C-alpha cells in the first residue's frame, strides 16, 4: 500500500484533480476552482514530502504522525498532515518565488466556498483568477523537478503557458503603474497641487513601514530617495568565529567568543516616504529591480533561537 506521505502518490492525485479542474465542458468556474485549490494543496504536500515526509506530518502527542513519516511505524495507523496554511508558509520559505499570500487567497477561497455563505472563488473573475493560480502552481511543479506538461498533458500545456504569460504581464503592468503613480504624486506634492484629501493622507516613513523584524535602506525606483526594504525570513546565517567557547586564562581573565554573525534576509516589502511608493510582495520588488535579499548583523541569540513550528 502506498504511504499517505508518498510524494509520487500526491503528485498523481494532483494530476487527477487538475484534470477535473480544466474540464471546461461540464463544470462551472467555481467547481473548477475548487478542484484546482485542492490540487494546489496536494502539489505543496508533494513538493515538501519529496524533500522529507516529516515536513508534512502534523506533530501529535504520541508522535505517531512523525513516526509514520519517518518510516519507523508501518501498518494502518492514521496519518495526519499539517494544515494548508502551514504547507503554504513552508513552501513560501523553501521554494522561491512561491507567494504565501497569493496561495492563501486560493485556500481561503476554497474554505469560504465550502464552509460559509460567502462568494468564495466568485470574488475574482476567472480571467484574473487562473493566471494568479498557475503562477503559484508552476513554482511547485519546478520544485518537484517536473514539467508542466507532465501535470496537465500536452494538449493543455499551452493553456497554462498563456495564463503564466498573462500573470507576468499583470505583474509588470501593476509595478509600472505603482511607480508612475508615485512619481506623479511626489511631483504634485512638491508643486503644491496635490488634492487636499490625498495630501491629508500623506504618510511619514514610520506609518508606511510594515514593522517587519529586519530592514535595510534601499534606493527608491520611483524617486531615487532612500526607502526601506523589510523582511522577516532568514534565508542564511553566516558565522565568522575567531574561536569557540568562553574561557578563563590562568590569571583569571575571562574571554567571550569573538563572533561575527551575518543574517541574509528575504526582502518582502518596500516603502518610500519620499513618494509614498509601496511594493508589497516578492514579485513587485523583483519587477522593480530591487534586491530580493539583504544582509543584516545578527547576534548570538539568532544562533540559539529555535525555529517556529506552527501547525495552523
How does pLDDT run across 134-163, given as a tens digit for each residue? 999 999 999 999 999 999 999 899 999 999
The number of C-alpha atoms within 13 Å of 19 and in the hemisphere containing its C-beta is 10
How does pLDDT run across 125-141, given as a tens digit for each residue? 899 999 999 999 999 99
The number of C-alpha atoms within 13 Å of 174 and in the hemisphere containing its C-beta is 15
Q: Which residues contact 223 (CB under 8 A, 6 or more apart)?
A: 182, 183, 186, 272, 274, 275, 277
Q: Which residues contact 254 (CB under 8 A, 6 or more apart)?
A: 246, 247, 248
Quick check: 167 and 132 in contact, CB under 8 A?
yes
Residue from 221, 238, 209, 211 nearest 296 by CA = 238
Identify the H or E element spanning 283: helix 282-287
Residue recorded with cell 504536500: 45
Distance (Å) of CA 143 to CA 147, 157, 243, 283: 10, 18, 38, 18
pLDDT of 310: 43
* CB contact burial 174-201 (16+ within 10 A = b; e otherwise): ebeebbeebbebbeebeeeebeeeeeee
Q: What is the mean pLDDT of each run of 10 residues along the chain (312 residues)?
A: 80 95 85 95 96 89 81 72 93 89 92 80 87 95 94 93 94 94 91 83 79 94 95 87 56 65 92 93 92 87 56 40
The CA distance from 277 to 203, in Å, is: 11
Residue recorded with cell 567557547: 245
Q: Where are the beta strands (DSSP E) in 160-275?
A: 214-219, 226-231, 234-241, 247-248, 254-255, 259-266, 269-271
DSSP 81: B
pLDDT of 249: 59
pTM of the predicted protein model:
0.74
The CA distance from 242 to 260, in Å, is: 9
Neighbours of 278 (CB within 10 A): 17
The CA distance from 257 to 247, in Å, is: 9
Amino acid at each position: 500500500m502506498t504511504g499517505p506521505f508518498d510524494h509520487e502518490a500526491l503528485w498523481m492525485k494532483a494530476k487527477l484533480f487538475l484534470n477535473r479542474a480544466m474540464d471546461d465542458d461540464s463544470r462551472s468556474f467555481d467547481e473548477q476552482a475548487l478542484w484546482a485549490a485542492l490540487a494546489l494543496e496536494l502539489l505543496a504536500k508533494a513538493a515538501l514530502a519529496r524533500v522529507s515526509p516529516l515536513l508534512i506530518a502534523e506533530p501529535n502527542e504520541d508522535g505517531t504522525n512523525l513516526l509514520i513519516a519517518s518510516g519507523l511505524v508501518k501498518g494502518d495507523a492514521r496519518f495526519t498532515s499539517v494544515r494548508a496554511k502551514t504547507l503554504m508558509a513552508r513552501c513560501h520559505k523553501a521554494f522561491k518565488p512561491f507567494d504565501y499570500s497569493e496561495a492563501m487567497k486560493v485556500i481561503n477561497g476554497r474554505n469560504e466556498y465550502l464552509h460559509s455563505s460567502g462568494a468564495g472563488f466568485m470574488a475574482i473573475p476567472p480571467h484574473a483568477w487562473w493566471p494568479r493560480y498557475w503562477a503559484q502552481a508552476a513554482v511547485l511543479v519546478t520544485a518537484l523537478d517536473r514539467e508542466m506538461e507532465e501535470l496537465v498533458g500536452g494538449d493543455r500545456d499551452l493553456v497554462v503557458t498563456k495564463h503564466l504569460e498573462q500573470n507576468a504581464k499583470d505583474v509588470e503592468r501593476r509595478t509600472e503603474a505603482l511607480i508612475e503613480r508615485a512619481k506623479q504624486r511626489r511631483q504634485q506634492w512638491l508643486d503644491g497641487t496635490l488634492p487636499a484629501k490625498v495630501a491629508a493622507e500623506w504618510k511619514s516613513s514610520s506609518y508606511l513601514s510594515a514593522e517587519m523584524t529586519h530592514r535595510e535602506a534601499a534606493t527608491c525606483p520611483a524617486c531615487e530617495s532612500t526607502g526601506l526594504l523589510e523582511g522577516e525570513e532568514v534565508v542564511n546565517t553566516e558565522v565568522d568565529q575567531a574561536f569557540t567557547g568562553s574561557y578563563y586564562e590562568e590569571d583569571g581573565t575571562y574571554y567571550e567568543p569573538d563572533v561575527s554573525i551575518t543574517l541574509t534576509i528575504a526582502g518582502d516589502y518596500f516603502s518610500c516616504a519620499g513618494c509614498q511608493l509601496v511594493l508589497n510582495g516578492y514579485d513587485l520588488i523583483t519587477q522593480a529591480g530591487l534586491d530580493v535579499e539583504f544582509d543584516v548583523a545578527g547576534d548570538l541569540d539568532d544562533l540559539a533561537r529555535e525555529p517556529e513550528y506552527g501547525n495552523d
